[in-house]
Amino acid sequence: MSFDESKYRAGYSMGVGGVVLCGEKVLLARRALGNAGDWTIPGGYVEHNESIEAAVQREVFEETGVKAEVEGLVAVRNRVTPAENGAYFIFLLHANAEAVKVDGFEIDQAGFFSFAEIQLLERLQPLSRIVVTKVLQAQIQVLRFHPHPKYARDEYLLLT
């Protein structure tokens, strides 16, 4: 019996999301495409040639104009559908300023919200609500990056 690796290279997706803190507030974005009007943490798909760390920083910046530094991994979601098996990695990031500039295509509004303001958002996606609440209430464990002695950080990531 031979091993067919090709079946593992199709039907999979990898995405990232960012819980971006600035002080005691968290960045949320309102979707303009697919689930338009829903608020969510910023995020998207990982490109073939980038690490998950680089992808979350890129997605946050592309959608909201916010530059943020990654602290570590706070959650992973796996979703299996007939079309694909998707993994979504959620990171904790920190920004130095609350200024936003939405892309106007995927996102039509974004801003930093306090815990009290988040409770008033009716259309906050459930996954975002769960993760943001846990982060703001300090109910999470952050897995941080550790360098590998033989590989560059953009080639090999270890989170413990």
CATH code for position 62: 3.90.79.10
Burial class (CB in 10 A: 0-12, 13-18, 19+), 61: middle
In a domain, 138, yes or no: yes
28, 124 contact by CB (below 8 A): yes
Interval 80-104 mean pLDDT? 95
pLDDT given for residue 160 in this prediction: 85
Domain with 31 in it: 9-96+104-159
> Is 43 among the domain residues?
yes
pLDDT of residue 1: 61
- Is 113 within 8 Å of 41 (Cβ atoms)? no
The kind and range of the H/E element at 60 are helix 52-64
Q: State whether residue 130 is helix, strand or coil.
A: helix
14 within a domain of the structure (yes/no): yes
pLDDT at 98 over 90: yes
Determine, yes or no, domain membership for 28.
yes
Q: What is the pLDDT of residues 19-58, one digit of tens each?
A: 999 999 999 999 998 899 999 999 999 998 899 999 999 9
Asked whether residue 122 is domain-assigned, the answer is yes
pTM of the entire structure?
0.92
Reading the block at residue 70, the tokens are 């990654």
Q: What is the mean pLDDT of residues 104-127?
A: 95
Quote the mean pLDDT of the chain: 93
Q: pLDDT value at position 70?
A: 97
**Has residue 1 been placed in a domain?**
no
